[in-house]
Structure 1
Amino acid sequence: MTQLWLKKCIYEFAEKHPNICIDLDVQNEKIDLVSKRVDISFRLGDLIEQDWVARKLWSIPFGLCASRSYIEKNGPVTHPKQLVNHRLITVNNDCHWKLVNQTTNEVFSDELQFQFSSNDVLLVRDAVVHGLGIAWIPTYYFHELNHDQHNLLPLLPDWQDAGKEVFIMYRDRDKRPMRVDAFIEHVSMWKNRFNMFV
């Protein structure tokens, strides 16, 4: 998320406030924000800290994707129930896929076996590009690619989920540092200008 698009928001803030020092720590795992002395955190999903303010920013849609070469070799997918016959790739902490047909409201949430997993979504996407299987990841990870160059295809576009929510979190203190309030305001304005999701 940070590497692909959220970094643009942070870079803009750095340009507007050159006297504020930024220490940007990108982690895939949940960390102790207090012991790490974190001012502000972005969280995807429900990993919300107690005693922190959490404001929803976006809801990120997820979708299925595979490489063109994988589909040509293993056949098309016309319904999620066919996923059990395919090699599947996932992010370590996202091992339960729930797909909802946006037209019929049919829900697919069967147990699936995964042949490849990583804690890094970019590595998951690259594994898909290399033809290792089908993944269920945020759609911006594959819509940003040139499909002809990378041979990466979205699958079953009618099947999505409610999306995972992205929150900005900060301590609920009476006297927050001005730098923190300035960044919160900047993110809010940037969100309104670049509301790329729901």
Structure 2
Amino acid sequence: MKNTKLIALLPDLASFILIVDEGSFTAAAKTLNVTPSALSKLVTRLETSLSVKLFERTTRKLIITRSGQQVYDQALVMVNAAQRAVELSTTDHQEMSGALTVAAPEAFLNSVLQPHVVPFLQKYPEIQLKLRVADGEIDLIRDGIDVAFKLTDKPDENLVLKEVSKTNLVLCASPAYIDKNGMPTHPTDLNHHDCLYLAETNTDHIWDFFKDDEYHSIAVSGRYAVNHSQMRLTGVKNALGIGIFHDFVVADALANEEVIPILADWTLKSNYHGAIAMQYPQTKYMPARLRGFIDYMALQLGANE
């Protein structure tokens, strides 16, 4: 497709995104101050230009097709990039104001980040903050995210990294469970215990243990698996089995002796341990609100410069 044709399609693609986001021609037309029939003709024109069908139209519902979803995803990248370009020329690029979208894993957001959100917004009343729970892989550009918190020892090499802390994984169980089932003294003992795990991927039930030169990969099992840390912790507290958690999730429960550590002399590794880091796209012109957020959270979370 020639550049001139692409440029001509950009307004139609932007309108197409709005139609998908609003869920109907009528709602999108109201936002754009045009008629629904005008948007219907626009979509027909776009379908002809792209040689794909974007929507399945029924009398009650507008359903995006698989090809339409692919077009939407790519168009959204362009619109988000255009939004960033606009921001470069506005005064809020130098001021602590405007919209900021931040993604973070659920457990970290709930246990660590949450106490700092309200003070940040109180300090910078002109910033509009959007927080998104993101436990899996995300694309910052495609998803319109300014900065993401990640818990990993394998950060994205294509993004700038600002490490703020470290996190380790802790294996624990309730005293009642241990009294009934015995205390594991070696990772292989877990083969005879009920274990609670995430169940997000096919490998979440495989726990890797390291001590000196010894290594064991254990495929655990149990009656209860849930990818919500607080629900999993509630299950462990109620003697449903042995669970794996980030240290910041179980800190209070360990201090109150609601749970006790298991195999504490072993190091437990997974995809979700290592550095607690903020990652964001490389840019020469960082908006003041983004720099302010990064610096504020780095200070609050104890970053080492």
> The TM-score by the shorter chain falls in which range?
0.7 to 0.9
Partner of 2:288: 178
**CA deviation digits over 1:161-198, x for unaligned, max 9?**
464322201111121211001111112222337x8xxx
Identity among equivalent positions (%) equals: 25
AA matched with 1:64: L
Partner of 2:75: none
- The Cα RMSD (Å) is 2.4
- Separation in structure 1 between the aligned mates of residue 158 and residue 216 of structure 2, nearest angstrom: 36
If asked which structure has higher relative contact order (CA below 8 Å, sep 6+), I would say 1
For the 8 Å contact 1:65–1:152, the answer to whether it is kept is: yes
For the 8 Å contact 1:147–1:153, the answer to whether it is kept is: no
**CA deviation digits over 1:31-69, x for unaligned, max 9?**
332233111111122574464212222221112101111
Selected match of 1:25 from 132, 149, 163: 132
For the 8 Å contact 1:91–1:118, the answer to whether it is kept is: yes
AA matched with 1:55: K
- Separation in structure 2 between the aligned mates of residue 164 and residue 135 of structure 1, nearest angstrom: 18
Selected match of 1:84 from 184, 188, 191: 191
AA matched with 1:26: V
Partner SS, residue 192 of structure 1: coil
Aligned length: 191
Please say if 1:118 is aligned against 2:226: yes
Gaps spanning 5+ residues in structure 2: where? 1-107
- Separation in structure 2 between the aligned mates of residue 26 and residue 83 of structure 1, nearest angstrom: 31
- Structure showing greater radius of gyration is 2
Shift of 1:6: 1.8
Q: As a proportion of its length, which structure holds more helix?
A: 2
For the 8 Å contact 2:140–2:280, the answer to whether it is kept is: no
* Range moving further from structure 2, 64-73 or 43-52: 43-52
Partner SS, residue 100 of structure 1: strand
- Separation in structure 1 between the aligned mates of residue 111 and residue 302 of structure 2, nearest angstrom: 18
Provide the TM-score with structure 1 as the length reference: 0.83
For the 8 Å contact 2:165–2:302, the answer to whether it is kept is: no
CA gap of 1:147–1:99, structure 2 versus 1, over 3 A, is same
Partner of 1:169: 279
AA matched with 1:170: Y
Partner of 2:150: 43
- Separation in structure 2 between the aligned mates of residue 49 and residue 174 of structure 1, nearest angstrom: 19
Selected match of 2:245 from 118, 137, 143: 137
* Range moving further from structure 2, 155-164 or 86-95: 155-164
- Separation in structure 2 between the aligned mates of residue 50 and residue 100 of structure 1, nearest angstrom: 26
Shift of 1:146: 6.3
- Separation in structure 1 between the aligned mates of residue 170 and residue 297 of structure 2, nearest angstrom: 26
